[in-house]
Structure 1
Amino acid sequence: MSIGITLALLAAVGYGAADFVGGAGARRAPTMSIVFIGQLTGAAAMVIVGLASPGTPTPADFGWALLAGLGSAAGSIFLLRGLSRGRMALVAPTSAVSAAVLPVLAGLAGGERPVALVWIGLVLALPGIWLVSRQVPDGAGPSSGGRGAFTDGLLGGLGFGVLFVALGQIPESAGTLPLAVNQLTGALVTIAVATVLRQTWRPGRGAAGWGITSGLLGASGSLAFVEAGHLADLGVVAVLASLYPAVTVLLARTLLGERLGAGQHLGLVCCSAAVGLIAAG
């Protein structure tokens, strides 16, 4: 398995673990405050890493970082809006799959041409991501179907896809300071959205530990993603990083004892096979 593939999988682990910690913390503290603390923590971590190993970022690099931050914020907003309407069964998998597809299309437009075995793995990963992300509705909330749920998921996924594409444009020579800009942009957007929605974003004692942990994990995921993008095709890296829901599901199963549906078990099998095929290619 190449270093680029390994780093892409580590990005999935970072993102998935960050989502798990953030989700667990949201049961105990305001969601927006956890997100805000996480974004600031990630920015601080990237500044520290950048000072230890400085790069030479250009204005264009910071521009891509700003776009990545806006994409991440937009993805989170639409995803949260869809989930708040009780449409997780359609919103979450649509978001995860569309986040993976956009970078693949961008890579093809940029001249990337994966070999046949990798293509099979990429195609197999998409239903795997869908299945492992899908939660069976319990009938207690609003309907999980409908055009609105699909739109929320699609727009959320496009936002995350923009995040992946933009991060993939930041060269190794730029160092990690552009990633700090990415995180700070997310923090500012979090404040703006929380203010509009009249939700609490100011750090509180109960949110600090969850936000800091989630932020460090998410920042490590972004750092691994950018490094992977220097060593492997953007489309491949993005699809592997988009396997992060599998990490979240496995952590919930292991640490919280949550049961997995038959579809999620099948999704994990598809994701595992996809990783094997991509690595072999």
Structure 2
Amino acid sequence: MGIVLALCAAACYGCSDFLGGLLSRRSSPYAVAVVAQCAAFLVVALVAAVAGNGMPAAAALGWGALSGIGNGLGTVFLYRGLGSARMSVVAPLSAVGSAGLPVLAGVAQGDRPAPLAIAGIVLALPAVALISRGADEPAGPEAGSTARRRSGVLDGLLAGAGFALLFVALDRVPHDAGLWPLAGGQAVATVSILIAGLAVGAGLRLPARRLAPGASVGLLGGAATVLFVFATHRALLSIAAVVTSLYPALTVLAAMLVLRERIARGQAVGLAAAAAAVVLIALG
């Protein structure tokens, strides 16, 4: 069941990232991220209220707040990269860090995946790296300059580090703490984005006609985060994190169909390897 929840989280993350990147090509990625995180907060808070959990301990709220910092910064870097570079490059690069770092954290905490699952984890890491081929090719008529497209590689890696912090911090929240730490994390993520936007002088207003699409990005992202938390309750962190981190496959597919991005041979091999990794992890 944990694998299924992680796959559902990956699907929601993939759709959310594609839509967020698409909006970031027309508006400030900081503005898109703020609206998305506000919507995500509403989703998580509603689920937490329905679940009926009491207020958790301060330590749980602290881990939730730390996850929010990683979530907020990771989202900004991801949308900035997706908005200016090839989505088929930036999204998989973000998965390198978000998959690899939680695996190391999980093993350090005593996780002992089965041999097949270990093979899947090992295969997943080079898979997302293979998908990242083609950074120098233009992302489409709305993408930025060559230099900006190349900087999207750095944005992808920084996004991965932020999401790794999100995953690891959420795993430290006790299972009986409910979802209020996660809701608090979403609020902290919004504040983090606002602070980052003000620090760099970025625009923080999203045009009214793009508020609904921006909110849909957050609804998908919030649902994905809730699904990931439930997945970690039913599977090892190292497995749930890697399966969830295969979300770029859907983002890449959407970029191919909608933006007509071309997929290099190495990227195609990476996508196939990513699919095989999911099967191995599930069998493990």
Structures share fold, TM-score greater than 0.5: yes
The answer (yes or no) to whether the contact 1:42–1:219 under 8 Å persists in 2 is yes
- How far apart, in 2, do the equivalents of 1:88 and 1:272 lie? 18
- How far apart, in 2, do the equivalents of 1:234 and 1:11 lie? 14
Letter in 2 for 1:222: T
Structure 1 residue corresponding to 2:229, chosen from 210, 226, 229 = 226
**What is the match of residue 248 of structure 2?**
245
Is 2:185 the partner of 1:182?
Answer: yes
Q: Give unmatched runs, 5+ long, in structure 1.
A: none
Structure 2 residue corresponding to 1:142, chosen from 147, 155, 163 = 147
**What is the match of residue 22 of structure 1?**
20
Measure how far apart 1:87 and its partner are.
9.5
Structure 1 residue corresponding to 2:38, chosen from 37, 40, 61 = 40
Structure 2 residue corresponding to 1:55, chosen from 53, 56, 74 = 53
Secondary structure of 1:74 counterpart: helix
- How far apart, in 2, do the equivalents of 1:41 and 1:75 lie? 17
- How far apart, in 2, do the equivalents of 1:32 and 1:246 lie? 24
Secondary structure of 1:173 counterpart: helix
- How far apart, in 2, do the equivalents of 1:244 and 1:60 lie? 30
Letter in 1 for 2:49: L
Letter in 2 for 1:216: L
The answer (yes or no) to whether the contact 2:37–2:187 under 8 Å persists in 1 is yes
The answer (yes or no) to whether the contact 2:18–2:254 under 8 Å persists in 1 is yes
Measure how far apart 1:216 and its partner are.
0.5
Measure how far apart 1:158 and its partner are.
2.2
Measure how far apart 1:93 and its partner are.
4.6
Measure how far apart 1:260 and its partner are.
2.0
Which shows bigger deviation, 199-208 or 95-104?
199-208
The answer (yes or no) to whether the contact 2:194–2:204 under 8 Å persists in 1 is yes
Measure how far apart 1:85 and its partner are.
8.7
Question: CA offsets, 1:61-105, max 9 Å, x none?
Answer: 111111101112333455567778969898655432122111111
- How far apart, in 1, do the equivalents of 2:127 and 2:2 lie? 21
Letter in 2 for 1:122: I
In the TM superposition, 1:120-269 aligns within 5 A as 120-138=119-137, 141-142=146-147, 154-269=157-272
Q: TM-score, normalised by structure 1?
A: 0.88
The answer (yes or no) to whether the contact 2:111–2:236 under 8 Å persists in 1 is yes
The answer (yes or no) to whether the contact 1:85–1:142 under 8 Å persists in 2 is no
Structure 1 residue corresponding to 2:8, chosen from 3, 7, 10 = 10
Gap change, CA 1:30 and 1:270, over 3 Å in 2: same
Letter in 2 for 1:199: A
Question: CA offsets, 1:155-177, max 9 Å, x none?
Answer: 44222111111111223322222
Which shows bigger deviation, 158-167 or 82-91?
82-91
Secondary structure of 1:230 counterpart: helix
Is 2:274 the partner of 1:277?
Answer: no
**What is the match of residue 69 of structure 1?**
68
Q: TM-score, normalised by structure 2?
A: 0.87
CA RMSD after TM alignment: 2.6
- How far apart, in 2, do the equivalents of 1:180 and 1:79 lie? 21
Measure how far apart 1:184 and its partner are.
1.0
